Amino acid sequence: MPPSPRYGLYVHLPFCLYRCSYCAFVSTSDLTVAAEVVEATATEICRHRRRRVLTTLYLGGGTPSLIAPELLEKLFAAIASTFTVEPAAEVTLEANPEDVTPAALAAWRKLGVTRLSLGVQALNDSVLRLLERRHDARRARAAVGSALAAGFSVSVDLMLALPRLSREAVEEEVREVVALGPQHVSVYLLEVDKPHRLAVLARERPELFPGEDEAARSYLAAARVLTGAGFFHYEVSNFARPGFRARHNLRTWRQRPLLAAGVAAHGHGGCVRWGNLEDPAAYARAVARGERPLAWRLVLSEDELEREKVMLGLRLAEGVDWATARAVARRLPAFAQRLDDFLSLGLARRGNGRLRLSRRGWLVSSELLQALW
């Protein structure tokens, strides 16, 4: 008998006390509806098919660390009554440093959280003020230390391509992060094609921001420090010590089934992709009416599935199998042409039946990937 399929579950908790200057994620600061929305999310979870096996669970946001432990408990009870959670499941909660207190750590541990993804973003107070974060560098260092001491596996989010952050400052910051001891680090270049206040500033005062070349140098410098310290650069933005890759996110990049619950949560399985309603009140009303709170649902063709596989696989150091990439290239001459250019420039390479991008290839991957759609 084939092994029964295993699933990941993503739960979105769309609440933040305040919207940071760089953020375009779905979240609201109206906490008065938090209890109702979390309870609706628990109800949505309970409507999933029974006893499927969860190997990863990810509570993302928004700011899941803002949600009171009693409410989180309802979510975890809904999950336990609906699914079979593997004893060694990876259970991640996104937390903002200012919410990491001894009481919160103890409550999260009791619920079964194994991994904290901490939104550190920077270890420089002037940069943190520009990002309009509610923590300072001291609080961020303390949060990493106390989460590790409490036995969590810790991932640190950092942002690059920001004003006031030279390449040298990035190197120093990444060295400091390594010294704090997290098992996983995510490094994101500021995206300014989204609707947020820093994007407006970047359009009005571009001279404040590092140019593309300087941003690329910062990214490469961060990667050098992390890989030099023993981290594996396994995805464009992600670095892990051996055994600590983000298993949940890997499921998305490898097209493994991912269930989803909560406002604006996205899921996928086989050729189906779907997303929930983004408005918390509309979401809660749909759940109360007994409906599935869907905003959209897509069924991909074989061709679209293969193109998605190439796009996602090329984000990973392990790459994508060459046969799939070649089949896609045969159907898409523009992709075939750019792939040839990438191979001849050394931005992509072929070996052991796989196609992989180099680190410099990752930096310019949009040139190649846009030919897929």
Ligand X SMILES: C[S@@+](CC[C@H](N)C(=O)[O-])C[C@H]1O[C@@H](n2cnc3c(N)ncnc32)[C@H](O)[C@@H]1O
- Quickly count: other Cβ atoms within 10 Å of residue 195's Cβ: 8
Q: Does 63 interact with ligand SF4 (rule: CB under 6 A)?
A: yes
Q: Does 25 bind ligand X (CB under 6 A)?
A: yes
* Nearer to ligand SF4 among residue 55 and residue 124 (C-beta): 124
Nearest-approach distance from CB 195 to ligand X, in angstroms = 10
Q: What is the CA radius of gyration of the chain?
A: 21
- Minimum Å distance from CB 37 to ligand X? 16
In Å, what is the CA distance from 310 to each residue of 203, 253, 298, 325, 343? 32, 10, 19, 6, 15
- Give the DSSP H/E element, type plus range, for residue 234: strand 232-235
Q: Which stretch binds ligand SF4 (CB under 6 A): 17-25, 110-118, 172-180, 207-215?
A: 17-25
Binding mask 325-354 for ligand SF4 (x = CB under 6 A): ------------------------------
Q: Name which of residues 135 to 164 contact ligand X (CB under 6 A).
A: 157, 159
Question: 189: helix, coil or strand?
Answer: strand
The rounded distance, in Å, linking the Cα atoms of 109 and 151 is 9
Task: Report what 194 binds from ligand SF4, ligand X, none; CB cut-off 5-8 Å by kind.
Answer: ligand X
Q: Is the dihedral of CA 333, 336, 338, 344 positive or negative?
A: negative
Pick from 308, 311, 306, 288: nearest CA to 365? 311
Q: Can residue 190 be called a binding residue for ligand X (CB under 6 A)?
A: yes
Nearest distance in Å: CB 199, ligand X = 7
Q: For residues 365 and 347, what is the distance between their CA atoms, to the nearest angstrom? A: 9
Give the residue, chosen from 96, 117, 186, 249, that forms a contact with ligand SF4 under the rule CB under 6 A.
96
Is 23 a binding residue for ligand X by CB under 6 A? The answer is yes
Report the relative pairing of strands 354-357 and 348-351 from DSSP bridges: antiparallel
Residues 6, 19, 48, 164: which binds ligand SF4 (CB under 6 A)?
19
Stretch that binds ligand X, among 19-27, 105-113, 162-170, 296-304 (CB under 6 A): 19-27
Which of 41, 59, 62, 284 forms a contact with ligand SF4 (CB under 6 A)? 62
Distance between the two ends of the chain, CA-based, in angstroms? 38
Helices 137-149, 167-180: axis angle to 10 degrees equals: 30
Instruction: Give the binding range for ligand X (CB under 6 A) out of 7-15, 48-56, 187-195, 243-251.
Output: 187-195
Sheet holding 232-235, edge to edge: 232-235, 238-240, 184-189, 153-160, 115-121, 84-95, 53-61, 6-13, 258-261, 266-269, 272-276, 294-299
Among 6, 25, 71, 146, binds ligand SF4 (CB under 6 A): 25
- By beta-carbon proximity to ligand SF4, the closer residue of 191 and 303 is 191
Q: Which chain residues interact with ligand X by CB under 6 A?
A: 22-23, 25, 60-63, 94, 96, 119, 121, 157, 159, 188, 190-191, 194, 196
Residues that bind ligand SF4 (CB under 6 A): 16, 19-20, 23, 25, 27, 61-63, 96, 119
